[in-house]
């Protein structure tokens, strides 16, 4: 099976009558891709930034993004408030997230032992997902908003994006923490966001901060909070998706 990576430039490539069945695209840029007369049976697309900006995804001439967004908001009550603009709206949005995650944590606790460490299709396990959200909070609240010089907890789970940014990997543990420790640290980070939102004002929301990934690009405190909310909802969606697979049977 051929494997193409970021070093392979396939921009503008044309696939005619090509057999791409069961091909897997991970982190690939498919912007502007045109498909004509293609067989899409059983195709699965996961695009977390689908609704950002002036974007569209047309299937047989119909932009399906509004339908996808409406369905996700229906499935996950409170998700629609993730882009709240004012303090009260943000507090309500975070409270909804806390309720959602609390229910999911209860679900996981009732599943067989070891479930939190199961990886589905090479994706992060449930425990790793929580560890990544610890990192996301440290990145966007601790570093960006609060401007703490070294805000990162050692159990934070990095990804290729943060590694490419030159984040010092020596900060993070190479030993897998216990799930109990993950839950404890995660609860602390959830409380950090809650406490910050409890007293935030419109003036603070409008204040300028440095993007932790691109310091030359300013962000507002509000936009940093939106990143946190987006991360939370997207990774919750991934987690629930994989828990459904785990519960459905042995095929991972």
Domains and CATH numbers, the chain: 47-76 (no CATH), 85-248 (1.20.120.450)
CA angle 226, 231, 237 (to 5 degrees): 130
Q: Helical H runs in the chain?
A: 65-75, 87-109, 126-137, 160-164, 179-199, 202-206, 221-248
**Low-confidence spans in the chain with pLDDT less than 70:** 1, 7, 160-165, 250-252
Distance CA 198, CA 75 (A): 27
CB atoms within 10 A of CB 64: 15
pLDDT for the residue numbered 22? 78
Residues 143, 129 contacting (CB under 8 angstroms): no
Close Cβ partners of 143 (under 8 Å, ≥ 6 residues apart) = 151, 152, 212
pLDDT for the residue numbered 230? 96
pLDDT tens by residue, 11-41: 877 888 878 887 878 777 888 888 888 888 8
């Amino acid at each position: 099976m051929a494997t193409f990576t970021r070093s392979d430039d396939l921009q503008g490539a044309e696939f005619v009558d090509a057999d791409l069945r069961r091909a897997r695209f991970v982190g690939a840029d498919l912007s502007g891709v045109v498909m004509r007369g293609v067989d899409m049976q059983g195709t699965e697309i996961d695009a977390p930034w689908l609704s950002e900006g002036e974007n569209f995804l047309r299937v047989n001439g119909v932009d399906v993004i509004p339908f996808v967004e409406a369905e996700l908001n229906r499935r996950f009550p409170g998700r629609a408030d993730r882009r709240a603009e004012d303090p009260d709206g943000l507090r309500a949005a975070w409270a909804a997230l806390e309720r959602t995650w609390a229910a999911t944590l209860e679900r996981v606790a009732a599943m067989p032992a070891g479930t939190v460490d199961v990886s589905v299709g090479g994706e992060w396990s449930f425990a790793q997902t929580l560890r990544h959200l610890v990192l996301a909070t440290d990145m966007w609240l601790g570093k960006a908003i609060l401007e703490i010089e070294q805000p990162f907890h050692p159990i934070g789970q990095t990804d290729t994006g943060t590694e490419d940014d030159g984040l010092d990997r020596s900060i993070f543990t190479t030993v897998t923490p216990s799930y109990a420790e993950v839950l404890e640290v995660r609860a602390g980070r959830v409380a950090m966001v809650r406490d910050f939102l409890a007293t935030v004002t419109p003036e603070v929301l409008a204040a300028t901060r440095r993007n932790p990934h691109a310091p030359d690009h300013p962000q507002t405190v509000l936009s940093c909070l939106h990143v946190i909310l987006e991360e939370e909802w997207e990774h919750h969606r991934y987690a629930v998706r994989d828990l459904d697979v785990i519960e459905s049977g042995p095929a991972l």
